[in-house]
Structure 1
Amino acid sequence: MTVRVEISVDSIAGVLAAVRAGADRVELCAAAAEGGLTPSAGLIERAVALAGDRVEVHVLVRPRPGGFHYAPEELAVMRRDVVLAGECGAAGVVVGALDNAGRVDRECAGLVAAAGGLPVTFHRAIDVAEDSVRALEDVAALGFARVLTSGRRRSVLDGLGLVRELVERADGRVAVMACGGVRAGNARRVLDATGVRDLHAAPRRPAGAAGAGAVSFAGVGAPAGSDRFDTDEDEAAELCQVTRNSAV
């Protein structure tokens, strides 16, 4: 089976890096330092144009930082953003919402419907759901194409057992994509230990030059001398090469 690599990017430079690296998909977002937010229509359209038919662009729809319990008004915004992503040419969307009890919000059915047949990924909200196994069943029933998980751990290397359980329970009804520190050096271990055939990574490195003076617009966590992070093309390319060699 073919192993597919998805690279999370939040800029045009990131899209181009992922294309050159040989990624199968990009998860396009804004504000990666905030965990990712919904990108603008302009960014989506340009990303789709640059990716062409070589790389699929899947758009993250997340209206604000923080948890995944959304007010009705926020869900309405999300549904509209899902529609707009499709209109801008996205190949898929990435969403997720939980209710007050920590279960998959039934309003996710409306998000899937708004995608108009495009594949929809349920993101790492599954890792903070009340019960990830139950959440998987709900996600499958609602028609999601895949779920993104690190096995409820910051690093997927610490969550391999749960990821494997989710793959087995999914039984082909929904694809399970592993994330959380996935890199070329551990990709083979993740694939062998879990049975996933989709890997998600966000390799980043400092970029830009911080301006001088008392006023700074540097991104969250950017080290001295830099003003932001951008996709690490070399890391992405190495991961893609390793997975090509791992295809079975």
Structure 2
Amino acid sequence: MAETITLEVCVDSADGLAAALAGGADRIELCSALEIGGLTPTSGLLRLASSSRAPVVAMIRPRGGDFCFNETETQLMLHEIDAVAAAGLQGVVLGASLPDGELDQPTLDRLVRRAAGHGLRCTLHRAIDLCPDLARATGQAIDLGFERILTSGGARSAPDGLAGLQRCFDAAAGRIAIMPGAGINADNVSLLRTRLALTDVHASCSEPVAPASPQVLAFGFDAGGRRQTSSAKVAALKAALLS
């Protein structure tokens, strides 16, 4: 019997949420602004997702750019964790870095403790891909109390990061779930399945949005590069994981 692999799909809109669920996603990562890697979702989207039939975890990231957060930004993230709990979702997705790329363990400890106080499960996001030693960072994530790590193995995409992913799996030794993500689709997920003991896979299953009108672009209301979740791509990846 084939192993059961959980498919997590990241979405940043109401339409994306509906498409992911229609395609058979097992878990939703709820964000805003996926074109820059995802930010904390709006209160309205949190409320909408609270009725999802699949578990939902929410990104906690107050701005784009790096993951080096000051005290004001850390306070924002603590309040955002409270909002996710109040919406009734199942977990949060966190990350914080030091300027050298190492995990900011004191900040992460505060965030994880806040989430745990609400009964929320915690995923360490791809801030880990900036770490110079993925194996050590995996051990730190375990010590901090994370349940899952989302990583591309330190590469631009998971298929390109197989060596780094293997280091994470080896360091985890079954103590934490390692969830490959970035650039995964129905056509290449078999490569990961043959090399890694997968339990979870993360993907956007998205396609480009039609370009905005020249006027919208000229006013700066759209920077281009937006994508939308495809229920067909979700279904195809789900089928590939079940085959």
- TM-score (norm: length of structure 1): 0.90
Query: 2:218 matched to 1:221?
Result: no
- For 2:162 and 2:95, how far apart are their aligned partners in 1? 22
- Unaligned regions of 5+ residues in structure 1, if any? 223-227
Residue-by-residue CA offset, 1:26-85 (whole Å, 9 max, x unaligned):
111001112111111111110222x1xx31111000011111111011111111101111
Residue-by-residue CA offset, 1:116-166 (whole Å, 9 max, x unaligned):
221100000000023221111111000000001111111211111221221
Query: Which of the numbers 33, 45, 68 marks the counterpart of 1:31?
Result: 33
Same amino acid, percent of matched pairs = 36
Question: Where do 1:52-67 residues align within 5 Å?
Answer: 54-67=53-66
Alignment match, 2:143: 141
- TM-score (norm: length of structure 2): 0.92
- For 1:104 and 1:32, how far apart are their aligned partners in 2? 22
Question: Where do 1:44-59 residues align within 5 Å?
Answer: 44-49=46-51, 51=52, 54-59=53-58
Aligned residues: 237
- For 1:219 and 1:194, how far apart are their aligned partners in 2? 39
Structure 1 counterpart of 2:7, one-letter code: V
- For 1:212 and 1:153, how far apart are their aligned partners in 2? 34
Query: 2:239 matched to 1:241?
Result: yes
Alignment match, 1:232: 230
State the 1:212 CA deviation: 5.7
Structure 2 counterpart of 1:46, one-letter code: L
Contact 1:85 1:93 in 2 (8 A): yes
- Unaligned regions of 5+ residues in structure 2, if any? none
Alignment match, 1:114: 114
Deviates more, 1:96-105 or 1:70-79: 96-105
Contact 2:25 2:54 in 1 (8 A): yes
- For 1:24 and 1:217, how far apart are their aligned partners in 2? 36
State the 1:217 CA deviation: 5.3
Structure 1 counterpart of 2:151, one-letter code: T
- For 1:210 and 1:71, how far apart are their aligned partners in 2? 35
Structure 1 counterpart of 2:110, one-letter code: G
User: Alpha carbon RMSD of aligned pairs, Å?
Assistant: 1.6
Query: Which of the numbers 17, 20, 31 marks the counterpart of 2:19?
Result: 17
- For 1:30 and 1:213, how far apart are their aligned partners in 2? 23
Deviates more, 1:126-135 or 1:99-108: 99-108
Contact 2:6 2:201 in 1 (8 A): yes
Contact 2:134 2:167 in 1 (8 A): no
Contact 1:33 1:220 in 2 (8 A): no
Deviates more, 1:102-111 or 1:178-187: 102-111
Contact 1:178 1:200 in 2 (8 A): yes
Deviates more, 1:7-16 or 1:109-118: 109-118
* CA separation of 1:212 and 1:73: change in aligned 2, threshold 3 A: closer
